[in-house]
Structure 1
Amino acid sequence: MFVGEAVLGTRAGVGSSRRFYVWMASACLAIAVVGFMPTYFLPLAQGRFRAEPIVHIHGLVLFSWVAFFFTQTWLVATGRTLAHRTWGMLGIAIVTAMTCVITAVVSMRVAQASLPGQPAGTAEGVRAFAWVTIGGLAFIVPVFILAIVKLKDSEAHKRLILLMTVSMLGAPIARWFLTFLAPPPDPNAPPWPAGLPHVAAPPVFVAVTPALIGDILLVVAMVYDWRTRGRPHPVYLIGGGIMLLLHLTMVPVSNSPAWQAIAAAIGRLAG
């Protein structure tokens, strides 16, 4: 009887964990959809969004990741583990594409901001804000590689994938800040130079608060760990600590001469 109760308890625990990760993946997907609604999805549907094709590819690739993450957690929760493993190769393709397209977009924007005739400070501001994106990518890629290495350790693997996805949520959350809290345009500002692409970046500090709000999901996951296993998993403690440090140091790193030089080199990749 006691053995049977233990087995039932274990199964119940596994089921609870799977449902929890489905809810976490659902939250990530919802944040991505709602976050980009006012600045991308609605303007695109209304024909008001104009951007280079690479920007649309960028949006498709990044959104495909959160949709993929949700689908994978749902497959596990419904007992389709074999399908989850089969579709895993698609995740590698998405992250590879993500790395390429993010680098391409950043390179294009830095190159555009560096064109002769751009207003003073434009290049420096765009190069600084590029750290928000490239710094995030520098976190995402190693975490994803480690998740692949830990495929046979499901407890570490699923937490690494969640950690990676949570680290991406600052961008959609920031869109609401930029939509509803951005100051009105300065009527006395001079017109943008004719013939040059309009490239502008907000101050880096505006990205810090949205990133920290996104980190709340990781706190939720740590609390769940505390309640179900007595302590947070090392993935959350170590990886979360690194992610928090990355978010808190955005401003000083982005304005450092070293990063400005690296960002300028990335801009030269665009030709």
Structure 2
Amino acid sequence: MVAVPESRRPGALQRLYRWAAIVAALVVFAGFAQTYYLKAWFGTPTLPTLVHVHGLVMSTWFVVFATQVWLVESHRIRLHRRLGLFGAALVVLIPILGIATAIEGARRHAGPPGIPPLIFLSVPIFDILVFAGIAGSGLLLRRRSDFHRRLMLLATLGILTAAIARLPLDFIRHGGPLVFFGLADLLILACIAIDTIRQRRLHPAFGWGAAVIIVSQPLRLWLAGTPAWMAFAGWLVG
């Protein structure tokens, strides 16, 4: 693949990443405020230790992503690369903890009401696998900054579904997967549209990365109702 030249106005593109990091952090905080960050004020049920660890690691990812964006904007590339080693460790740790937490949640019937736990299990597991694939690709392509930064942005936005589903808005809570995924996709497509307009072409990383995220959504919903998935999910949950 041929590297796509970056815009001659890097400040405009950097603002895109800055605002994307801010929006992602706000969505995560708003979505999990009642059940995690501010649960002491809302009196929500006690969470298992595994969920706390998972929440801490995921929160750290969004903090690290925002910090990395700031370091690049500040031209502190050496520190950005050093922190990237910690980010790489998170890319390994997040799928392990995420899948374990999803399985434990299915055992506790912690998913949305009205959806059988084994069926819903496909949603978080696919979220985690897609995140791992895109973020891992971003790490492999870290020497190609145009690919690296876009893939890391996609990985971060693509894993917002769980936070969006928990936003305290009725149309979201009752909208089901179509709304959860749709809002996450809107954020992704908005970033891609801005980048494409600035660059005057669709960057390949955004093209195939967004395709993987969006195509995986109906695929997991279809797969969740198959006997093969039910057997596999039953085996996972034990």
Question: TM-score by structure 2 length?
Answer: 0.87
The one-character-per-residue Cα deviations of 1:128-160 (angstroms, maximum 9, x if unpaired) are 111000011111111111111101100000000
* CA–CA separation in structure 1 for the residues paired with 2:147 and 2:173: 39
Structure 1 residues 65 and 147, CA, compared in 2 at 3 Å: closer, same or farther?
Answer: same
- Structure 2 gap segments, 5+ residues each: 1-5
Which residue is equivalent to 1:119?
A: none
Mapping 1:1-271, distance limit 5 Å: 13-112=9-108, 125-176=116-167, 206-268=176-238
- How far apart, in 1, do the equivalents of 2:144 and 2:173 lie? 44
Shift of 1:44: 3.3
Residue type of the alignment partner of 1:150: L
Structure 1 residues 173 and 98: CA distance shift in structure 2, 3 A: same
Q: Secondary structure at the match of 2:45?
A: coil
Q: What is the distance in 2 between the residues matched to 1:73 and 1:227?
A: 21
Counterpart contact for 2:158–2:188, Cα < 8 Å: no
- Residues 11, 220 of structure 1: alpha-carbon distance in 2 compared, 3 angstrom cutoff: closer
Over 3 Å counting, the alpha-carbon distance change for 1:225 and 1:80 in structure 2 is: same
**1:73 corresponds to which letter in structure 2?**
V
Code of the residue aligned with 2:55 in structure 1: it is G
Aligned-partner Cα distance in 1 for 2:172–2:191: 29
Q: Which amino acid aligns with 2:153?
A: L
Aligned-partner residue type, residue 63 of structure 1: S
Query: 2: distance between equivalents of 1:152 and 1:81?
Result: 12
Question: Aligned AA for 1:267?
Answer: V
CA spacing shift, 1:179–1:208, aligned 2, 3 Å = same
- Cα offset, 1:19, TM superposition: 2.2
The AA in structure 1 aligned to 2:195 is D
Q: Counterpart amino acid of 2:20?
A: M
Per-residue CA distance 1:145-193 (angstroms, 9 max, x = gap): 111110110000000001111111111110026777657xxxxxxxxxx
Shift of 1:207: 2.6
Deviation at 1:226, TM superposition (A): 2.2
Shift in Å, 1:225: 2.1
Native 8 Å contact 2:167 2:173 kept in 1:
no
| 1:249 counterpart SS class | helix
TM-score scaled to structure 1, two decimals? 0.77
CA shift, 1:84, in A, is 0.5
CA distance in 1 between counterparts of 2:121 and 2:234 reads 10
Alignment length (residue pairs): 230
Cα distance in 1 for residues equivalent to 2:92 and 2:169 = 29
Letter in 2 for 1:220: A
Residues 151 and 182 of structure 1: is their aligned pair in 2 closer, same or farther, counting only changes over 3 Å?
closer
Gaps of 5+ in 1: 1-9, 114-121, 184-204
> Which moved further from structure 2: 256-265 or 126-135?
256-265
Secondary structure class of the residue paired with 2:222: helix
Q: Distance in 1 between matches of 2:170 and 2:94?
A: 25
